[in-house]
Amino acid sequence: MKENNLTLGEFIIENQKEFQYSSGELSRIFNSIKLAAKVVSYKVNKAGLVDIIGGVGEKNVQGEDQQKLDVYANEVFIQTLINREIVCGIASEENDEYITVQGSDEGNNNKYVLLMDPLDGSSNIDVNASVGTIFSVYRRISEVGTPVTLEDFLQPGTAQVAAGYVLYGTSTVLVYTTGHGVNGFTLNPAIGTFYLSHPKMKIPVDGTIYSVNEGNYVHFPRGIKDYIKYCQTEEEDRPYTSRYIGSLAPDIHRNIIKGGVYLYPTSTKSPKGKLRLLYECNPMAFIVEQAGGKASDGFSRIMEIVPTELHERCPFFCGSSNMVDKVEDFMLAAKLSK
Ligand code: P6P
């Protein structure tokens, strides 16, 4: 069959070797994510039409106003996974604690845990800008058949078996990796099918787009201030273009396609950074590295950070490898000049 007519389901079957270590569980996880993504996509694209936008009035664990669609998306992904009993545990940005999935039999014989940000960038919903779902899958380290433990979730990003994002934009695109490259699928909403639209995605080694919230400039560390001035200097292929949507999935997706670097540094407002290591930075790092790019905390590889808390944050620089290298050069130079 011609590659560009492949549906996501056919692609998974054709590439079953990627799921060789699973008895079909990983494929079933992707089928559940595919279903939940369609349901959330429908709701997101109707958000302006029905009264489900606007804050619920509660705040999530991050202290952010919880949008109704945040709550809805969280419930859709959790219920879709729990009903199929294909994971033994779930961690979500919207839940303080991880969720233990009780199997129908004693304990739970499923091998995988899933971590997610069910609707990242949700502050963009009210202004009809793109938002995304970000997910990461690990094999559990605790004994199969016993209740899942916190250690199953606190694994370094290098242990991920799969990661992906769903981008709810002008179209709905699901991009994922299982460590065998990166592929993107676009939803045809008329028939509810994802088709292979971005085969073997590769990020350019260099780029001329930088993505950062420049409103925080005064709070940035010296090295990042110097890098941003470097981007804005009239020299060689610069000044670069500044593009920032304020939603991780579309900002990363654009940079994979066009080349670029995304920056979320520490600041006096966010001394550890804002983005969460487990369900934002690690999955995006896995995807971008698999596409030939790089993801760093300014000094070392994001995926080698050993997590200590479920909702821990970290500085995040991710994109074209030459651009991330340049960010690290400026961060090191600033450190050495202290
Ligand atoms: P700021 C959304 O809240 C998010 O986690 C990412 O999706 C996005 O890139 C970033 O935070 C935006 O943060 O502080 O620039 O609004």
Q: Which of 219, 275, 317 to mutate to test the pocket of ligand 1 (most atoms within 8 A of CB)?
A: 275
Could you tell me where the beta strands, DSSP code E, fall in the chain? 55-59, 65-67, 89-92, 99-100, 112-120, 131-139, 160-168, 172-177, 182-188, 193-198, 209-211, 241-242, 261-264, 294-296, 316-319
> Measured in angstroms, how far is the CA atom of residue 134 from the centroid of ligand 1?
13
d(CA 332, CA 328): 6
Instruction: Check whether 280 is labelled as a binding-site residue.
Output: yes
pLDDT at site 104: 52
Query: Is the overall model pTM greater than 0.90, yes or no?
Result: yes
Q: Which residue's CA is the closest to the ligand 1 atom numbered 16?
A: 246
Fold of 209-337: D-Maltodextrin-Binding Protein; domain 2 (3.40.190)
Cβ(274) – ligand 1 distance below 6 Å: yes
* CATH 3.40.190.80, the chain: domain bounds: 209-337
Atom of ligand 1 lying closest to residue 247 CA:
7
Percent of the residues in the chain that have a pLDDT greater than 70, as a whole number: 89
CATH class of domain segment(s) 8-200: alpha beta
Examine the pLDDT at 1 and tell me if it is beyond 70: no
* CATH 3.30.540.10, the chain: domain bounds: 8-200
Give the tens place of pLDDT for each residue, 264-302. 999 988 999 999 999 999 999 999 999 999 999 999 999
- Tell me what the mean pLDDT of segment 220-239 comes to: 97
Cβ(246) – ligand 1 distance below 6 Å: yes
Cβ(213) – ligand 1 distance below 6 Å: yes
Q: Does the model's ipTM exceed the 0.95 cut?
A: yes
Instruction: Check whether 227 is labelled as a binding-site residue.
Output: no
